Structure 1
Amino acid sequence: MSNGNISLLVGLGNPGERYIGTRHNIGFSVVDSVAEDFQVKFSHENAFSGQISKVKTPSYTLLLLKPVTYMNNSGISVVSVMNFYKLLPKQLIVIHDELDILPGDIRLKQGGGSAGHNGLRSIQHSISSSDFWRIRIGVGHPRLFNSRQDVSDFVLSKPNNEEFSYIKLAIDCFRNSIDSLAKGDFDFLRKYLKR
């Protein structure tokens, strides 16, 4: 499957009902949306420490992954899938929440540090590379809302209705660009970033 296309889409989050819909689980929400669009279901794979699904089109094959290791150990799941399918770091897109940008804003980059995100740090360590794509979806930071709420409590809670409306727009944009992203073409998403 090492064909130059982006082949593995990983959503970061925490498993369990208590985390559904929380800011920290935006990555899960995105891959769930993609699976829904393609009418594919996730299956739990112990060998991958995650829930995985496969999208097959005439143009590409895209694996969807939700690690069930909890955020801080996401790399265990990601590296097992990459090794099994013989994928390169450039074929990996990781979607995660971002505190330091406003709800619904999207940032795209390839490579770089983890910026304090434990899920990214785990992946970088496990695959021994930072040369993968990251799509960061903003959830805001308590200080942006003049709040003194603890950051951990903030990301593990659900966004309010206004924040959610912006986040949903970002997820919808991602859903609309999935064909391009799966082929390694980020132009559609870049157009959104310039709006």
Structure 2
Amino acid sequence: MSNYKVLLLVGLGNPGEKYNGTRHNIGFDVVDRVAKDFQVKFSDKNSFFGQIAQVKTLFGTLFLLKPITYMNNSGISVASVMNFYKLMPEQLIVVHDELDILPGDIRLKQGGGSAGHNGLRSIKCSISSSNFWRIRVGIGHPRSLNLRQNVSDFVLGRPNYEESCSIESSINCFRKSIDSLIKGDFDFLQQCLRQ
């Protein structure tokens, strides 16, 4: 089947209970929801330095990955999976928290810099390419939200109720569009996420 796609959806986050529910773990939250939607379970893979699950559909296979290397070394896990399955950067989609957009907003883009995000920087270095897709889940910046916290405390903190509701709404928007991702229809997915 020539249109059959194989893609890797990576959620960025930090392992351990103390990071659960933090803004920086939004990537983990998203892939957990996708796994639940498709009723697949993650398994620990030491060789991949992470937890991996597989979704098989008529249109393609979607691997879900949660690196357990901590954020700053996410690329080690991503590169090991990509090398094993012989995936190209264009087959990689990384879900991460995004300071530059407000809670409730979610965007898709391909390529670009890391904008100070250590997880993205690690992946870019490990796979020697920035030409992968990013699903940017807005968390806002402490300054744009009129908070006095420094950035590291902010991203490792938990969103308030209003922010959580907005973030939840953006994640649900992505979940409803997951079929277009599996089909590799990134143009359509981009349009869906902008609405």
Q: Aligning the two structures, in what range does the TM-score lie when normalised by the shorter sequence?
A: over 0.9
The one-character-per-residue Cα deviations of 1:6-35 (angstroms, maximum 9, x if unpaired) are 510000000001111110000000000000
What does residue range 75-94 of structure 1 map to in structure 2 within 5 Å?
75-94=75-94
Superposed displacement of residue 126, structure 1: 0.2
Higher mean displacement: 184-193 or 94-103: 184-193
Q: Which residue pairs with 1:53 in the alignment?
A: 53
Q: Which residue pairs with 1:107 in the alignment?
A: 107
Relative to structure 1, is the Cα distance of residues 115 and 4 closer, same or farther in structure 2, using a 3 angstrom cutoff?
farther
Q: Which residue pairs with 1:37 in the alignment?
A: 37
Higher mean displacement: 68-77 or 142-151: 142-151
| Contact map agreement 1:105 1:170 (CA 8 A) in 2 | yes
| Contact map agreement 1:6 1:181 (CA 8 A) in 2 | no
Q: TM-score, normalised by structure 2?
A: 0.95
SS of equivalent residue, structure 2 residue 55: strand
Distance (Å, rounded) in 2 between the aligned partners of 1:53 and 1:43: 6
Q: Which residue pairs with 1:23 in the alignment?
A: 23
* AA in 2 matched with 1:50: G
RMSD: 1.5
Distance (Å, rounded) in 1 between the aligned partners of 2:139 and 2:194: 19
Distance (Å, rounded) in 2 between the aligned partners of 1:71 and 1:3: 33
The one-character-per-residue Cα deviations of 1:104-145 (angstroms, maximum 9, x if unpaired) are 211211111111110000000000011100010100111012
How many residues were matched structurally? 194
* AA in 1 matched with 2:146: N
Q: Which residue pairs with 1:147 in the alignment?
A: 147
Distance (Å, rounded) in 1 between the aligned partners of 2:8 and 2:133: 10
Higher mean displacement: 74-83 or 144-153: 144-153
Superposed displacement of residue 187, structure 1: 3.8
Distance (Å, rounded) in 2 between the aligned partners of 1:4 and 1:57: 9
Q: TM-score, normalised by structure 1?
A: 0.95
Superposed displacement of residue 188, structure 1: 3.9
- Greater than 6 Å deviation, 4+ residue runs: none
Task: Point out where structure 2 has 5 or more consecutive residues left out of the alignment.
Answer: none
Task: Point out where structure 1 has 5 or more consecutive residues left out of the alignment.
Answer: none
